[in-house]
Chain A
Amino acid sequence: MNKLRENEHLTGYVFTAPFVLGFLVFTLYPILSSLYYSFTDYNLYEAPGWLGLDNYQRMFTEDDKIAKSMQVTFTYVFASVPLRLVFALFVAMILNTATRATGIYRSAFYLPSLIGGSVAVAIMWQQIFGDQGLLNSALSLFGIHSTTSWIGSPSTALWTLIALSIWQFGSSMIIFLAGLKNIPRDYYEAASVDGANSVYRFFKITLPMLSPIILFNLTLQTISAFMTFTPAYIISRGEGGPLDQTLLYSLYLYRKAFSHFEMGYASAMAWIMLLIVGVLTLLIFKSSTRWVHYETKGD
């Protein structure tokens, strides 16, 4: 009996080994070494030399671009995540009521988030918002003749990236849709009988019932928005221009690491980012006790 137990344990270890090994080698080891590098002047060519807290100090005292890139990143996250969630919920609710060909609609709306992170879409975006792009052509149909490049002018560049992010609402939408399907019909029927209109039903039934899913989507989307890199890199060709308006933190980190080869400094930047995302996630969870409604708690 005991022997069989042991064998089962071994089987378990063997089956988890690929993941555990992968995690140790490709995740934990790089994370820990980047923590070490963040205290050094590692430049890829030479052995790292110990700097102590110099990198962190430089980030907050000498480097103006850190503040700038944080400002850009926060604008991007705080604008794109709520808008994307609202949009995803809106479309999910429409699809929830549709009766025919829902499969096709769902796939069609999900498609952008499958391809949205790709290089091809970023290049397409470049064309749409260019000075001779689709948007300006469309505007000219309404008699508005614009020759500005939306991607090239400082006041609009970041918003083209935010628009791209909102357009990739598909994965949140699918999760919302699943959540909507789980809300028992009788709640709505009972409410209708009591004379609640659709707006009232939305705020009193749909939103509370959906709140755990909103929390899930909000957390996931916030974390992934902080890590956005590809579209900003492609659209500004790695520069973060114009006037650093699209210089996302991740883009600046990449530039420090792979253009200036300041791996130590870039590692320090990565740890600060981890800290910020960690604190924000914690705040979201802390606040969730006030607005997330779990039915099983039975109130």
Chain B
Amino acid sequence: MKKALTAILSLSMVFSLIGCSGSTAENPANGDTPGQTPAAASGDKKDPVKLRVAWWGGQSRHDYTLKVIEMYQDKNPHVTIEPEYAPFDDYWKKLAPQAAANGLPDIIQMDISYLNQYASRNQIADLKPFVDSGSLNLDDVSENAVKGGEVNGKLVAMTLGTNALQTTFDVETMKQNGIDIPGKEWTWEDMDKLGAQAKEKGFLMGGFAYRHDVFFPYYLRTMGQKMYSEDGKSIGYADDQAFIDYFNRYQTWYDNGYILSLDKEAQKKGVAEEDDIYLGNAISGNGWSNQFLAVANLVTDRSLELNPMPGPGQKEGLFLKPSMYFSVTESSKNKEEAAKFIDFFINDVEANQLIKGERGVPVSSKVKEALKPELTENEAKIFDYVTWAEENSSPGDPPNPIGAVEIEKLLRDYSERILYKKVSIEQAAPDFRKEANAILARSQK
């Protein structure tokens, strides 16, 4: 009896060992194949193809994206798509180990802050061959939108939509309370006044919600300066005066109680339901144009309006930003099929009737025209604003250099320390620039 048990157990151990070594022997072989197979796969169109598509977003984005995928599968029965989706922060934390394991999905949604990181480490593929072969049709896409996805002359990401910075005004509440509504051409002094008037009536105005990584570069642009140098190897400005002016103004707003206090800001999770305009606490807010929709749709009893950011130098400051991209990964075995899906996503009118500019105003002029009559009032406001911004903006900056994510965090840390008076603005300005330069130098070795 005992002998039998020993035999069974030792056998099972032997098998499990074999199992182990078997799989380890297989893995390297798997790792080698992606380079060789695509030619074979693209030969026959009827071959079943499996694509993995990953994106970040909220529930509404997940819902309609799944419908678009279903639509694509109906039209292309040989393609099966496996969706993978998560909130923004978790998305990137999931993607990194997948990249390390050579197991990225075929198509990944890409953000401007991460574009360089993935491109320079050869994780995402050049899409130009597929544009040339006709799989990815860019005839109706403006050159600017295409350029936004280029790194070192390679088209590594396809822009899905465009955004522009905007100020949201709760015009009706402002009228009722006798708060002056600034026009399109307004200045930082007007914004000071707006804060003072709002405060008098017991309202806040929208602060920048820690997003100095968005609004400080805008401010720099209005002054004819850039956050990052052209080659991305250093901070783009040498004179700290812009930093000092920007934060002096912001500190005044904060100390006067024009904007939300930091301890309350820290609790926000970044969803529209806690927006202070919606809650009736604030008369204005700032953000990207696609973010307007979620808030405006919640506020049903009064209408909100989009306005540009303050100037002077508004036109130099404003730019169209690729809201997000789709990239095809280098490890994908079906790059051609992946490119076709992206083509469908940006060019198909029916698909975009589901997407409806939630990923930014569509890049295809044909799609934009076709959607116009079907837009809701709030969607139309965004389309109109971005159309206006096309005429009244300057070309965008190249994708953020590697290390930008860390620098954005650094800027946020400094803004907190400034507002809590742990460091003087005059001290913070050169310190921030020095530390940011060190991060860039380290990241690009």
> Could you tell me which A residues sit within 8 Å of B by CB distance?
7, 10-11, 14-15, 17, 41, 44-46, 62, 126, 130-131, 148-149, 151-154, 236-238, 241-244, 258-261
- Let me know if B391 is at the binding interface, CB within 8 A: no
Cβ–Cβ contact A126 & B267, under 8 A: yes
Given contacts A10-B6, A17-B13, contact A44 B264 (CB under 8 A): no
Q: Give min CB distance, B40 to chain A, whole Å.
A: 27
Closest to A17 in B: B13
In the docked arrangement, what's the CA distance between A151 and B123, Å? 39
In the docked arrangement, what's the CA distance between A237 and B416, Å? 16
Of the A-B pairs whose beta carbons lie under 8 Å apart in the complex, a sample of 28, sorted by A's number, is A7-B2, A7-B3, A10-B10, A11-B6, A44-B96, A44-B97, A44-B99, A44-B100, A45-B96, A45-B99, A46-B121, A149-B267, A151-B266, A152-B263, A152-B265, A153-B263, A154-B420, A236-B266, A237-B269, A238-B89, A242-B266, A242-B420, A243-B417, A243-B422, A244-B413, A259-B93, A259-B405, A259-B406
In the docked arrangement, what's the CA distance between A267 and B348, Å? 47
Q: Mark B346-388, 1 if CB is under 8 A from A, else 0.
A: 0000000000000000000000000000000000000000000
* Selected contact of A149 from candidates B2, B264, B445, CB within 8 Å: B264
Cβ–Cβ contact A131 & B6, under 8 A: no
* Selected contact of B121 from candidates A10, A41, A45, A241, CB within 8 Å: A45
Interface residues of B in 408-445 (CB under 8 A from A): 409, 413, 416-417, 420, 422, 438, 445
Q: Give min CB distance, A36 to chain B, whole Å.
A: 15
Cβ–Cβ contact B5 & A11, under 8 A: yes
* Selected contact of A152 from candidates B10, B89, B264, B438, CB within 8 Å: B264
Query: A242 contacts which chain B residues (CB < 8 A)?
Result: 262-263, 266, 416, 420
- Let me know if B18 is at the binding interface, CB within 8 A: no
Query: B420 contacts which chain A residues (CB < 8 A)?
Result: 154, 242-243
In the docked arrangement, what's the CA distance between A269 and B40, Å? 46
- Let me know if B9 is at the binding interface, CB within 8 A: yes
* Selected contact of A130 from candidates B96, B123, B267, CB within 8 Å: B267
In the docked arrangement, what's the CA distance between A105 and B445, Å? 60
Cβ–Cβ contact A258 & B93, under 8 A: yes
Closest to B96 in A: A44
Interface residues of B in 243-275 (CB under 8 A from A): 262-267, 269
Query: B97 contacts which chain A residues (CB < 8 A)?
Result: 44
Q: Give min CB distance, B101 to chain A, whole Å.
A: 9
Query: B406 contacts which chain A residues (CB < 8 A)?
Result: 259-260
In the docked arrangement, what's the CA distance between A236 and B6, Å? 53
Cβ–Cβ contact A258 & B96, under 8 A: yes
* Selected contact of B100 from candidates A45, A149, A241, CB within 8 Å: A45
Closest to B413 in A: A244
Query: B96 contacts which chain A residues (CB < 8 A)?
Result: 44-45, 258, 261
Q: Give min CB distance, B212 to chain A, whole Å.
A: 14
In the docked arrangement, what's the CA distance between A17 and B11, Å? 13
Given contacts A17-B13, A62-B438, A260-B406, contact A7 B262 (CB under 8 A): no
Cβ–Cβ contact B416 & A241, under 8 A: yes
Query: B100 contacts which chain A residues (CB < 8 A)?
Result: 44-45
Closest 8 CB pairs of A and B: A152-B263, A44-B100, A152-B266, A14-B9, A149-B263, A45-B121, A153-B263, A258-B93
In the docked arrangement, what's the CA distance between A46 and B57, Å? 28
In the docked arrangement, what's the CA distance between A41 and B121, Å? 14
Cβ–Cβ contact A7 & B123, under 8 A: no
In the docked arrangement, what's the CA distance between A100 and B381, Å? 69
In the docked arrangement, what's the CA distance between A82 and B166, Å? 52
In the docked arrangement, what's the CA distance between A285 and B165, Å? 60
In the docked arrangement, what's the CA distance between A238 and B413, Å? 13
Query: A236 contacts which chain B residues (CB < 8 A)?
Result: 266
Query: B121 contacts which chain A residues (CB < 8 A)?
Result: 45-46
Closest to A237 in B: B269
List 16 additional contacts besides A11-B9, A241-B266; criterion CB under 8 Å.
Answer: A7-B6, A10-B6, A10-B10, A11-B2, A17-B13, A45-B96, A46-B121, A149-B263, A149-B264, A152-B262, A152-B263, A152-B264, A153-B263, A241-B416, A243-B416, A244-B413
Q: Give min CB distance, B428 to chain A, whole Å.
A: 13
Query: B417 contacts which chain A residues (CB < 8 A)?
Result: 243
Query: A62 contacts which chain B residues (CB < 8 A)?
Result: 438
Given contacts A7-B3, A44-B99, A237-B269, contact A14 B264 (CB under 8 A): no
Closest to B439 in A: A260
Q: Give min CB distance, A46 to chain B, whole Å.
A: 6
Q: Give min CB distance, B415 to chain A, whole Å.
A: 11
Query: A154 contacts which chain B residues (CB < 8 A)?
Result: 420
Closest to B3 in A: A7
In the docked arrangement, what's the CA distance between A258 and B123, Å? 17
Query: A15 contacts which chain B residues (CB < 8 A)?
Result: 9
Interface residues of B in 3-27 (CB under 8 A from A): 3, 5-6, 9-10, 13
Query: B264 contacts which chain A residues (CB < 8 A)?
Result: 131, 149, 152
Query: B89 contacts which chain A residues (CB < 8 A)?
Result: 238
Query: A126 contacts which chain B residues (CB < 8 A)?
Result: 267
In the docked arrangement, what's the CA distance between A105 and B237, Å? 64
Cβ–Cβ contact A131 & B263, under 8 A: yes
In the docked arrangement, what's the CA distance between A11 and B1, Å? 13
In the docked arrangement, what's the CA distance between A15 and B422, Å? 60
Closest to B99 in A: A45
* Selected contact of A14 from candidates B10, B413, B445, CB within 8 Å: B10
Given contacts A44-B100, A242-B262, A242-B416, contact A14 B6 (CB under 8 A): yes
In the docked arrangement, what's the CA distance between A210 and B420, Å? 46
In the docked arrangement, what's the CA distance between A148 and B413, Å? 21
Cβ–Cβ contact A131 & B416, under 8 A: no
In the docked arrangement, what's the CA distance between A261 and B413, Å? 19
Closest to B265 in A: A152
Q: Give min CB distance, A164 to chain B, whole Å.
A: 16
Given contacts A14-B10, A46-B121, A149-B266, contact A41 B405 (CB under 8 A): no
Interface residues of B in 51-101 (CB under 8 A from A): 89, 92-93, 96-97, 99-100
Query: B92 contacts which chain A residues (CB < 8 A)?
Result: 259
In the docked arrangement, what's the CA distance between A7 and B1, Å? 12
Cβ–Cβ contact B416 & A14, under 8 A: no
Q: Give min CB distance, A26 to chain B, whole Å.
A: 13
Q: Give min CB distance, B417 to chain A, whole Å.
A: 6
In the docked arrangement, what's the CA distance between A261 and B442, Å? 13
In the docked arrangement, what's the CA distance between A17 and B438, Å? 49
Given contacts A45-B123, A242-B262, A259-B405, contact A151 B267 (CB under 8 A): yes
Cβ–Cβ contact B267 & A131, under 8 A: yes
Cβ–Cβ contact B13 & A14, under 8 A: yes
* Selected contact of B267 from candidates A14, A152, A244, CB within 8 Å: A152
Closest to A25 in B: B20
